[in-house]
Amino acid sequence: MIYSDLHCDSISRCYEKGESLFDSKGHINYFKIRQLEKYKQCFALFVDDSKRGDTAFSYFKKLVKFYGNEIKKIQCENMTAVLTAENGACLGGDSDNVNFLAEKGIRMLTLTWNGENELASGCLSDNGGLKAFGKEVIRKMEKTDIFIDVSHLNEKSFYDVADYTASPLIASHSNCFSVLPVKRNLKDEQIKLIVERGGLIGLCFHAPFLTCEGSGSFEMIYRNIYRILSLGGEDAVCFGSDFDGGEPESVLGSLQRVKNLYAYLKGRGLQADILEKIFHKNAEKIFLSDS
């Protein structure tokens, strides 16, 4: 099968644990990749909210170097890797570092993580929205063709970003609030706005954002897909698993198990053309080449 994914933390996990992506004990490694016909993955380089300024930027540069070395080790002919960044704190408070991201091939930046940073406020911040520095960064992102990732933003920051820019908005790893009401999930009006902008919503496998008592992960993925489709999101819904960052239930706890998810969704009545969009075509139209 063909599978495209907007978000994983595999590189950051390997760096912190002293592992290699080749034989990592996490959700993704070379041997699991080889089990898919064609696989396209956005690898996010994650900077924790505890890091700021030069410390954050220096750490981020180490992740960039580590990523380059790890991708060379894999060299899978069936894999296309796309580099992204999670948490605008990685810029170290200097908007000129957007150019560094662009030079290194980074295609998307998640503006915040859970807390407040120099750009905006994250989902665990009850106050605050998009800041002047965040606007400056967005202007430079638009000039360098780096997509804006609104996952993790609080509602005020989300709408501030939407009001400030007409660019497509990408929620790389977010689910539906109407299916499971937690702060990290998107409300219907947010989903409709992303759809209207021609953006993407990558459904996340992290159990606390996905499952509720008595319902399994596959069923809850189906419910999220159904909700987004009902809001006009046939060309927006895709996957952003959060592999190696989130904590999925065991049925989704490894890359090769997406085949089982495909079979389940097909069994629930989703047509082949819709499944193709969800599993790879929607993500590819914006981020990933046809190579």
Quick one: pLDDT at residue 44? 98
Average pLDDT over residues 214-238: 96
**Inside any domain, residue 37:** yes
Q: Is the pLDDT of residue 146 over 70?
A: yes
**Inside any domain, residue 276:** yes
Quick one: pLDDT at residue 287? 65
Quick one: pLDDT at residue 290? 42
**Inside any domain, residue 223:** yes
pLDDT: which is higher, 74 or 6: 6
CATH number for position 267? 3.20.20.140
**167-199 tens-digit pLDDT:** 999 999 999 999 999 999 999 999 999 999 999
**Under 8 Å between Cβ of 30 and 19:** no
**Inside any domain, residue 111:** yes
**32-48 tens-digit pLDDT:** 999 999 999 999 999 99
Quick one: pLDDT at residue 288? 59
User: What does the mean pLDDT of the chain come to?
Assistant: 96
**Under 8 Å between Cβ of 98 and 140:** yes
pLDDT: which is higher, 289 or 190: 190
**Inside any domain, residue 291:** no
Quick one: pLDDT at residue 212? 87
Q: Is the pLDDT of residue 280 over 90?
A: yes
Label residue 100 exposed, middle or buried (CB < 10 Å: 0-12, 13-18, 19+): middle
pLDDT band at 289 (very low <50, low <70, confident <90, very high): very low
**Inside any domain, residue 226:** yes
Owning domain of residue 191: 2-286
**Inside any domain, residue 15:** yes
pLDDT band at 214 (very low <50, low <70, confident <90, very high): confident
The overall pTM is greater than 0.95: yes
Q: What percent of the chain has pLDDT over 90?
A: 93
**Inside any domain, residue 209:** yes
Number of structural domains, the chain? 1
pLDDT band at 66 (very low <50, low <70, confident <90, very high): very high
